[in-house]
Amino acid sequence: MKKLFIVANWKSYKTAQEATDWLSEMKKLSFPEDKEVIVCASFTSLPAMKTFIDTNNVSIKLGTEDVSPFGEGAYTGEISAEQAAEFVTHAIVGHSERRNNFAETDQVVAEKVEMAFKFNITPIFCVQGKDTPIPKGIEIVAYEPVFAIGTGHPDTPDDAEDVAKYIKANHEVKYVLYGGSVTADDVHGFTQMPSVDGVLVGGASLDPHKFTQIIQNA
């Protein structure tokens, strides 16, 4: 059985209190070893989440939703990879919402990847299509077509398979996830495709019960 990644991207939702409340609901569950569950949350929630996870032995890994392209230094407002690495094992890099709202170029995104690598954070590298440049050394890619994000209109599993297959054939990428309007009802359509190794879930990950259902159905 192939390993599946079920990754949540909470975007700018949830206070630290709401984040730990969510974890309290999830802690009752254990996930099969072939499913790796990673929650990418706001920096403000990560310390409390890490404490909760360590104290309660919850089998969920933590990620950031972004990382600075700079190291430590005079970069007001930025969170460096070194700072993030105290709390997380993973980081989403190159999400279309950052490319579009914060003018992140392929160059900046590649610098972020470098900083993540330097501090042993595994990037979950978002591509918007087959042609998005993928920096060297990336293991996990998430294919997230912009039209499918937050719209309730996911891409088709066949398209996701086509893109995942193409990426694996043209890059040294190990895993390709699909993201964009994933729900408990449509998740299995994606995870059953041979080249798709999991999902990156936005809206439907905010509710612990919906997210649990997604993990179970994947």
User: Could you list the active site residues?
Assistant: 95, 144
What is the separation of C-alpha 176 from the centre of its chain, rounded to a whole number of angstroms? 11
Residue from 145, 179, 190, 198 binding ligand 13P (CB under 6 A) = 179
Given a contact cutoff of 8 angstroms between Cβ atoms, the answer to whether 126 and 158 are in contact is no
CB of 200 to ligand 13P, least distance (A): 5
Structure tokens at 45: 């929630």
Q: With binding defined as CB under 6 A, does residue 201 bind ligand 13P?
A: yes
Residue from 69, 145, 180, 198 binding ligand 13P (CB under 6 A) = 180
Q: With binding defined as CB under 6 A, does residue 80 bind ligand 13P?
A: no
Q: Nearest to residue 37, comparing CAs of 199, 217, 203, 202?
A: 199
Residue appearing with tokens 């700079």:
70
Contact window for ligand 13P (CB under 6 A) among 15-23, 67-75, 101-109, 177-185: 177-185
* Angstrom distance (rounded) from CA 80 to CA 71: 6
Q: Which residue is nearest to ligand 13P (CB)?
A: 202
Rounded (5°) CA angle 150-87-62: 40
> Which one, 198 or 202, has the nearer CB to ligand 13P?
202
In the complex, the residues that contact ligand 13P under the rule CB under 6 A are 9, 95, 144, 149-150, 179-182, 200-204
